Structure formats: structure tokens, C-alpha cells
Structure 1
């Protein structure tokens, strides 16, 4: 009996597996009914537009540079001695005037040297006087054959030697006076002290540095000008060429509204070996504001320069934000309200505008200023009006402004 039950189980189990597989295959083989895909929603292109006008556009070249002194020198001693006095004007950052005594060196030795030189000059003059008298006497005596010709020649030679000694003594006096004068170190120009390298009581020697000073009548800035920028500038090449106006602004503090007027007065005339740029020299008068109300410039201060260039005639200034991929713009037909993608060839560009010739833009077109991913030619477009406050809000604002003005 048990053997018969086991055979039944063995026969039923494979049949059950086959039946389950057939049922699963039938379910999977049935075609699933697909739901219809909803139709794509049609979207209308919308953009803001800007009217295009033909104008004359003044080119402004932007470049940069560093303020530097036009005359910077190392002040040096010309004689040896101990420093006995230092002027308050000879301190780092102090101003001084031309001819002002900045430093004094002990003059006692030089006064003594001058006195000795003057004494030698007096002795030489006396010897010369005696030699002249002796020569004159010999010349009178030779007429009566009282002296020989040889004695006359000796007297003349002695007189010539005395003249040379007197001239040498006079030269030594002048040198002693000059050395005494050099005990006072004078300012060679109106300037300012950059560094001081000597102090009271310190010994100096000829050519020993005393400090660095620079002139303050004007300063200069080296401005690099690229080859493309040079096309739109008329730079002075000769001394009588008209200078080019420049406006300088602080490159460190961009929020500062301070500016300085400058003039390009010359160019270096040699292109930089690496960048092939030409350096123009701009001059700033009264850079420290000593004779005006201008804020002071600092030597070594980086500045941004705006240079007045040529005026481009009959051009259109496109907002830079409306130019895509460097040379792509989208126009809108003012009557049909359809799109017209266009490639442009710019004449000039700066941070705000891209300048094109008026002949590049067809008439009767507006400029699309809204970024659009898809701009098919001829597509209809809705114009987004410029946002403006409601009339009621405008009236309220006008009333409040009037009330504030009255108060």
C-alpha cells in the first residue's frame, strides 16, 4: 500500500510542475495593452526685445599698470665724516623741497682744510709777486749787459713756476670750499623719502648710501597695449604729438569711486619680447594731491586705466549678454514677430557691449535679450513687456515723494 502511494506522488509532482510552467508562459505571452502617449504640450517662445539704434560709439580701452616714480635716486655722501644733524624731512615718508638741507656732516676738518688751502694760496701769490719783480729786474739789467741771458731765462722760468703754483693753490682752495659745502646734503628736487639708511653720529664715506628718495612733481604708469587695442588708439610717438587722456581707478579697492586724470605722453617704442605688447607711459600730475583736492596715489599702487580711443561711426552696440557663443544673436521681426538667428562679425567688444557695423543688422528688427534654448528661424514669438509698476503704485510713490519733499 505504501509503495503504491509513493508511486502516485512521483507521478503527480512532475505533472504539477509542467502545468505551473505552462500557465506562467501563457500569462507572459499575452500582449500587454499599452496606454496611448499623451500629446506633447505646445509651448510658445517668449522673449524680451530691445530696439537697435545706429550710433557713434567712443572706444574706451581698458588696461592696467602700477604707479611708479618718474625719478627715483639713491642719495649718497660725497665726503667722509660723522653725521652731526638729520633733518625731520629726512625720514621715511616725509616730504622735502628742492635745496632743503636733509643731513649735515661734521665740517670741522673741512674748515681746517680750507684755511690751510687759503694760506698756501697767499704764499703762492707772494712767491709769484717776487718772481715777477725778479724777472723785471733781470730784463732791465740785460740791456746794459749787467746780467747774462742765462740769468734772465732762469728768472722767467722761476716766474712761470710761481704762476703754476699760484694756480694750483687757487684750485685747492676751490676744492676745499666744495668739500665744506658738501658737508650739507641738499635735496636735488621736490620729493619724498622712501627709505633712510643712516642715522645721527654714524660715519659716512664717499659714495656711501644715505637713503632712497623720489620726485613728487608727477608720477608715471606703464600701460600695456595689445596689438588689437592699438588699432583703436592714436598714441603719441613724438614730443609734439597730442597726449591721450586716461582715467585711472584703484585696482585694489574696486568699491572706491576715486579716480585720477592722467595723460599718455610717450610710448617705449619697443614691443615686449614675450607678449608683443607696447607699453605706453601715462603721466599723473600732482599724484599726492599736495596742490589739489585729489586723493593721494601711492608708489607701487596697481590701477585700472581707461583710455579714450577713436570713435566708431554708424555702428550698433549690442548688449554683451545678448550675444551667444561669441558671435550668435537672435533677432525678432518687428512686424511679423518671428525669430531670425544671425551670426555677426564684431568690430570691437568690451565688458558691456559688442559693436557691429550697422550694415550687419537688417532693418526693422529687434534684438532678443532672453536666453532661449531653441530658436528656429521663422518661429513665432511672444514679446515679454518691460515690467513697470501699476498706475496706482506709481501714483502712490509720486505722492510719497512729493510729501517727503514738502517735509
Structure 2
């Protein structure tokens, strides 16, 4: 029982079987796992009313299911939205990301990281930090394009330090999650608890730190958190898809601090490393690939590790689900399908609006509305520009989607295009939003 998420995933099918579809959707469908500590499972409900009713009517059922599954007496508490927000911000409560990292990340360790010329420096730096946290290379800043192994190294640091220092208080979080937690703490007037939560830890791991760039309040809070931990000799590890010098919307004082320690970039793997990755991953999956197939994949997939793993999993599916032999023809087919699927992916305008709203910390409905507030108008114009640039929708179709005349869309797109010519920060914003949209695929 490593995490609240794992426990909740275990009992959900039993609840679905025990209750009717309507009852399950009404009472349990919107519950979210918050925390698991010793013998207590904490869940978050969509409203105070439902939280109260579940505690009164269904708590014994949930506890009995837990006892049947895990042979242990586990208490259950369902919190309403405000209580859940306060709980997340409470001192000593690890963020949900800390639980999520334990689920499905056990394979991401140093001994399973394939080292080559493209990543050796970053690997050695991460290993040094894990073996002696807070003493060497603080902060450690890992950067490189998506799918090259930054998160693998971050998880490896986490697991190694947890193994050797089980008493260490560690926080792992993503840049956008830090922003969201801060917004929630401000809304609930719990900023003091939020600060204490982050500033009394032994190790801070932040994935995708570039997400805080351009967010003034988040940068202010992270600046103070960074200083507090650094001055106390606590280890900080950050990852990003670019070096600090390329984060145009990052405050100079943060950029300077990110460069204080050691920066290590990860490049796409070379041919020999790709072969080693394919061989290692196939063995882990129980797939004994012939050397010629390994070499064929390595020659044709060169961008990142994620695509290599995707090809291997596709081959395994051919074998297990269709009974196909693993040969050059099927390897070629798997590669073609992987590349074609990625190239043919066209996101819906809803996804683009959602990611734009998330980036600007707005409600998607606000962007779709008629507000003339400057920040909302900009987000709406950016959404229109991205929709026009990466979908096949015409101006009238985009206008219909937003409930606007097509000339409004045209002027919005033209304004963004004109601004991009002289505004590097806006270029970075649009690049980030497009990357987030692609990550949804």
C-alpha cells in the first residue's frame, strides 16, 4: 500500500460491483484520493454535502472493503472541497505528486538508466547528488528535450535518497502543480501553511520548472522557497526542457540561482545507446528481440527514448494480441504507425483552449466568454492563433467555436502574428502551450 492512489484504484472495482451504476456515479464517481498515512485513507469529495453523506452512509462499506482487501483496519475520511484544500496545504502533508511518484515509478532507478555519451554527465551529476545530498552540486539543473530521461533521473534520485535516508522529508512536484497549490493556498488564506510545507524539507525535486516562468506570484514564492532551502543546505534538483538562459519570462534573480550549482544537459541518444536502450527495455518486458531488429529500430528511431519504448510496446502488442512474428516487416510497420500517428494527430480546439487556460491560470469558460479584460483577451487571441496554426479549421469555423464573427478571429490572429515579430516572451508562451497540447496525445 504505497499510496492513496493505489489503494483507491484497488477498491474502486469492488465499489462498482457492490453498488448500482447510478449509486456509484452519484456517490463515488467524483471522489479523489488525497493521502494515506499509517492506517487512515483520506479522500476528497466534490461538495460538502456529498462528503458528509458518504461519511455517514458509506464509510463502513469502504472500511470493510479495505479490510477484506488488505487484512487491516483502515479508517476512512472524506473531506469537502475547502477542507481538502486546507489539508493539501497543511504542514507535514506530502503533495499528491509525492504519492504518484511511488506508483509506477519503481523501475526508474539508476541501475536501469542506460548511460551513453549523450547523458553520462547528467547521470554522474544526479548520482553524486543522490549519494551526498546538499553537499555537491546544489542546485542541480537537468535540461533537455522531452523524452530523454530527465524525469527518470529525478525519480532515481528520489528512490536512492529514500532508501539511504528513510527519515528524509522529500517533496516531488511539477512546476504547474506548484503554481496550482499556491493559487489554492491563496484562495483559502493558507499561505503560511503552504510556505512551511515546502520550506522545512530535506530535498526538493521540481520537474518542468519552466512552467513557473511568467507567473509573477509563483516566481516570488519559489524564489523565497529556494533561498530558504539553499541557505539551510538542503538539496534542490530542477528539470526543464531548456536552460535558464532560454527562459525569457523567468526573473533574473531566479535565473541566477538556477545557475548557481551545476547545469547538465541531456542530448538525444547516439546509435550505440539506442541499441542498449532497446535491448534493456525489451528484456524488462519479456521480449527477446533479435539483434537485427534492435539495430533496425535504432537506425530508424532517433529522436528520444519515449519513441523507442513505444515501438517496442507496439511490437509486443503485435505478438501478444495478434500472434504476429517479430520480424523486419512488423518492426517497420510499428515504426511507421508510431510516426504517422504522431504526425497525423490534430488536437481539438477544446484541448487547445483548456491548455491555454491552464497556462494563464484561467477558467476555459472565461476564454470562451465575452470578457474584455486584457489578460483574458490575450489568452483568447493566443487560443485562436494556436487553433489556426495547428488545426485545419477555417476562420468561420474558429469563429463559430468561439461564438465570434470570423473577422474577429482574423484580427486576433493577425495581432498575435504581428506581436510575435518583436516579442520573444510571447513566442515562448505559444511554444509552451503547443508543447502541452502535444503532451496530451
Bin for the TM-score computed over the shorter chain? under 0.3
TM-score, scaled relative to structure 1: 0.17
Q: Greater strand percent: which structure?
A: 1
1 or 2 for the larger relative contact order (CA 8 Å, sep ≥6)? Answer: 1
The structure with more radius of gyration: 1
Q: Greater helix percent: which structure?
A: 2
TM-score, scaled relative to structure 2: 0.16
